[in-house]
Amino acid sequence: MTETTDVLVIGSGFGGAIPAYYMAAGGARVTILERGPRWGAAQFSHSMRLGTYNKIVDVIRGDGVSVVAGNCVGGGSVVYFAASLRAPSYAFERHGSIGRRMWPASLSRATLDPWYDRVEQALPVAHTGWSDVSYAGGVLAAACRRAGHTCNPVPVAVDTAACTNCNWMLSGCAFDAKRSMLLNYLPAAEAHGAVIRPLHEVQLITPSPESGYRYAVAYTVLDPDDYTCTTNVGIIHAKVVVLAAGAVGTPVILQRSALLLGGIPGAVGRYFSGNGDHVSVADVDESKAGSLLGLSRPDGTVYQGLPIGRPITSATYDYLDPSAPEYSRFMLQQIYFPPLTNILAQTTGAPGWFGVDKRRMRARWPSWLTLLAMTEDDNEGTFGVVPPTGGFIRLAPGLGQGTMSFRPTTRTRQAWDRADTALRGILEKDGLSRVRPWTEALAGTVTAHPLGSARIGDDPTTSALDDQHELRGFRGLFVTDGSAVPASLTVNPSLTIAALAERAAIGIATRVAEAGVTMTGGVPLPGR
């Protein structure tokens, strides 16, 4: 029996859940295919044991880059740290490596602001105060103040009253305090008849032979206990397809489909960005945190607070200067990486603080302060030969080998160096701490913010999508995940991805209506 749907959505994170809701609420039959399992608060655990977090989080290693990505219903929204910031105005004016504006002329901070407004209401986003800031965030804030800089609490998509500050956000929120897609757009889509199919990995998109349907999407069903095993296969015919498999998954699906689709835009699988992410670790001198910063805790210790509280609570925006030249703008943000700091501590070789120095540092790990600089990179990443199935080769639970390559250009490295210099100026002042940039020896640059691998734009030679997120030359095939974001933003990108998906829903609905589906306009925000 031939299986059909009006709208097929591939992926269920921000980029998939949002269009899925609007299409379903507007009257379309919607099917959502998600590669990962469907978990909720009852399944999320406070454990690093195999079979827990590594069932819903993937670390995908490429050549010179490693990507941390969600693998579950709700996608990255389930495992992200919920920092929710609008991109600064200058981010939309960037020229980058192509030497001209990368974003479509129709998009700017001003034109995207109404869509930011909608997402902030729908999630919703909480604007936090200093009482919500962790010990680690407080150390950054105090150090910034002493060095003559400002620091602010970071707005988050978290119900702060329900949050227990358990610091297990990477494993999903067991208290439903993090406002992931599981709590808003996805249940609202299901209330309007959308069907979510977990453990369905899309392999191929081809033209459909069925009358009235434009695309045929081939998928495999994965074994819930072993994602390398397939339990079934299938094909769904759709009038419109929304591709939101993430900036690592989306280009691979398109590349694998290229021959049967009759060719795809040359910008697919190019211009990959890690959002300029650059991680550093500061080893804080406890005595100086007390004497220089005047900090103390009720139990008599000074800091020793790396693992306490939410992963992201404070940041300095002082370097987001619109008048500064490109590649010199960045944000410095306090952050916590449970598994990634373990990788760092186990890395061997240069720099010289490994060996005995490494053991001493690991013994002091509660006094670490981990920092994320989000800079302007050159979109120098590319994708290579397509793997046999899926978006990458799965090596083990939670670990994969991807096809992306990222060789930082001189300008990207200079941007990282400028951020490092600024960070040292704040945190090494008078011996407060010693800052150590992340070593690239083991995993390359590490990012949880992959972008740009099938991006929007006005120039067909440098963008795979038009300004409505439609793949060039393919009517009714849209991309709405981080792949579509043209360049690094110097802030966490989730809110921008969501706002772009909100905006794209209008064009998607137009194509659905053109395909003969009666659509209702004026759909309210979920829960309204």
CATH number at residue 320: 3.30.410
Reported as a single tens digit per residue, the pLDDT across 366-376 is 889 999 999 99
Domain count, the chain: 2
- Judged by DSSP in three states, 196 sits in strand
Tell me whether residue 104 is in a domain: yes
Helix residue ranges per DSSP H, 365-521? 410-427, 494-514
Helix (H) / strand (E) containing 121: helix 109-122
Residue 228 and residue 344 in one domain: no
Tell me whether residue 161 is in a domain: no
Tell me whether residue 13 is in a domain: yes
Residue 5 has pLDDT above 80, yes or no: yes
Helix (H) / strand (E) containing 152: strand 152-153
* Higher local confidence (pLDDT), 339 or 233: 233
> What pLDDT is recorded for position 437?
83
Q: What is the mean pLDDT of residues 152-158?
A: 98
For the question of whether the overall pTM of this predicted structure is more than 0.85, the answer is yes
Residue 219 and residue 109 in one domain: yes
Q: Which domain holds residue 117?
A: 1-83+85-122+168-273+380-404+453-522
Residue 212 has pLDDT above 60, yes or no: yes
Q: What is the CATH number of the domain that holds 256?
A: 3.50.50.60
Tell me whether residue 162 is in a domain: no
Residue 51 has pLDDT above 90, yes or no: no
The tokens describing 11, both together, are 């992926």
Residue 282 and residue 246 in one domain: no
Angular region, 110: left φ>0, alpha ψ -120 to 50, beta rest:
alpha
Tell me whether residue 163 is in a domain: no
> What pLDDT is recorded for position 53?
84
Residue 386 and residue 492 in one domain: yes
Residue 321 has pLDDT above 60, yes or no: yes
CB 98 within 8 A of CB 481: no
Residue 219 and residue 348 in one domain: no
Q: What is the mean pLDDT of residues 507-518?
A: 98
Cα torsion 520, 112, 331, 154 to 10°: value is -50
Q: What is the mean pLDDT of residues 404-416?
A: 97
Residue 99 has pLDDT above 70, yes or no: yes
Residue with tokens 């434009």: 214
> What pLDDT is recorded for position 349?
38
Residue 63 and residue 133 in one domain: no
> What pLDDT is recorded for position 442?
58
Residue 112 and residue 225 in one domain: yes
Residue 221 CB neighbours (<10 A): 17
> What pLDDT is recorded for position 348?
33
Residue 332 and residue 392 in one domain: no
The dihedrals phi and psi of 245, each to the nearest 5 degrees, come to -90, 10
Residue 354 has pLDDT above 80, yes or no: no
Tell me whether residue 349 is in a domain: yes
Residue 261 and residue 282 in one domain: no
Residue 329 and residue 459 in one domain: no
Residue 236 has pLDDT above 80, yes or no: yes
> What pLDDT is recorded for position 365?
77
Residue 43 and residue 141 in one domain: no
